[in-house]
Amino acid sequence: MDLIELKRTFAEIPLSQIHYFDRIGSTNSEAARLAEAGASDLTLVVADGQTAGRGRAGKSWSTLPGTALAFSLVLRVPAEDRAHYSQFATRYTALSALAVCDALDQNYGLDAHIKWPNDVLVGGRKICGVLSEASWLGDRLQAVILGVGVNVLQDGVPHDDEVDYPATSVEQSLIDSRESKITGRNTIDRLVFLKEILSHIIGRRPQLLQPEFIRTWEQRLAYRGGWVEIVTLGQDNVVRGQLVGLDLDGSLQLKDADRKIFKVSSGRVSLREVENQDDSTSVFSSS
Ligand code: BTN
């Protein structure tokens, strides 16, 4: 991967700037620095390797050179949308996760789902994580930084005992897929894949604030109709419910054993599937 190759591959995508690093701490931190310095909409920061990549809830995210995609995209928020940002913040995370699902599905025939709020799963294993962060100047929202990390090659995938959710790669998923067994095609070019993800982000962005966006996101939700457990990290709060869908603000709608609908907002939460829990009770307040 190098800047010349990136510029050639992305020639048709309307990016305003591309910043490439062989090695960097975190592309999100660099993109936030650039946004503060006035970087324009659709500025892209890409790294081959990250030494201090950041994940959600203060977790670290390692990116071994040559194995993964680690990039951050600066999206300037139109003035008229700034006041409503808190209501739509989760949609930015979903925009990236949906773009990764669309690329995996449409370009590689892989069935991908979103483990709310920010993970992309293939075959029940995590293939991608998204960290979207707001960049503020005082109390004025400057930009949203979409940070995306994808396990492309199996070499960069952590073992199951090193992570709190089992992981996989695009490479392994392609090898395992029925389609590749038929076509024999199971390789992936990182830059082409990045181009495909960026095209999907840019293509879907105009729908971001539309109600249909929520319905599209909902159709990609992992475990929909199934029972899930949501843990609020750093606290003892555990809530179980049947995953119904999404609210307009991107909160998760769950149904408890008494068929009462309640909401869980994103934040420091982690979700996993559980066995059918008809006798479960909620510790979150109902709404
Ligand atoms: C998570 O699953 O917790 C989110 C992981 C997000 C990692 C990406 S890699 C590119 C960008 N730069 C960062 O420091 N983090 C995001």
Q: Using most ligand atoms within 8 A of CB, pick from 24, 131, 151 the residue to mutate for ligand 1.
A: 131
101 pLDDT exceeds 90?
yes
268 pLDDT exceeds 80?
no
Task: Identify the pLDDT of residue 287.
Answer: 31
Which ligand 1 atom is at minimum distance from the Cα of 47? 10
pLDDT tier at 267, thresholds 50, 70, 90: low
Kindly give the distance from the C-alpha atom of residue 69 to the centroid of ligand 1, in angstroms, as a whole number.
Answer: 10
Using DSSP bridges, classify how beta strands 261-264 and 269-273 pair: parallel, antiparallel or unpaired: unpaired
pLDDT tier at 133, thresholds 50, 70, 90: very high
Q: Is 123 in the pocket of ligand 1 (CB under 6 A)?
A: no
Q: Is 49 in the pocket of ligand 1 (CB under 6 A)?
A: no
Tell me the percentage of the chain whose pLDDT exceeds 70: 93
Residue nearest to atom 3 of ligand 1 (CA): 55
Task: Identify the pLDDT of residue 279.
Answer: 53
Which ligand 1 atom is at minimum distance from the Cα of 57? 3
Which ligand 1 atom is at minimum distance from the Cα of 55? 3
Q: Which of 40-49, 173-182, 233-242 has the lowest mean pLDDT?
A: 173-182
Task: Identify the pLDDT of residue 282.
Answer: 41
Q: Is 151 in the pocket of ligand 1 (CB under 6 A)?
A: no
Task: Put the strands of the sheet holding 140-151 in their side by side order.
Answer: 17-24, 43-50, 68-76, 140-151, 125-137, 119-122, 112-115
Which ligand 1 atom is at minimum distance from the Cα of 25? 14
* pTM of the full structure: 0.91
pLDDT tier at 280, thresholds 50, 70, 90: very low
Task: Put the strands of the sheet holding 227-232 in their side by side order.
Answer: 261-264, 252-255, 238-246, 227-232, 269-273
Kindly give the distance from the C-alpha atom of residue 269 to the centroid of ligand 1, in angstroms, as a whole number.
Answer: 16
152 pLDDT exceeds 50?
yes
Kindly give the distance from the C-alpha atom of residue 62 to the centroid of ligand 1, in angstroms, as a whole number.
Answer: 8
Residue pLDDT, tens place only, 40-92: 999 999 999 999 999 988 889 989 999 999 999 999 998 888 888 888 889 99
Residue pLDDT, tens place only, 106-122: 999 999 999 998 999 99
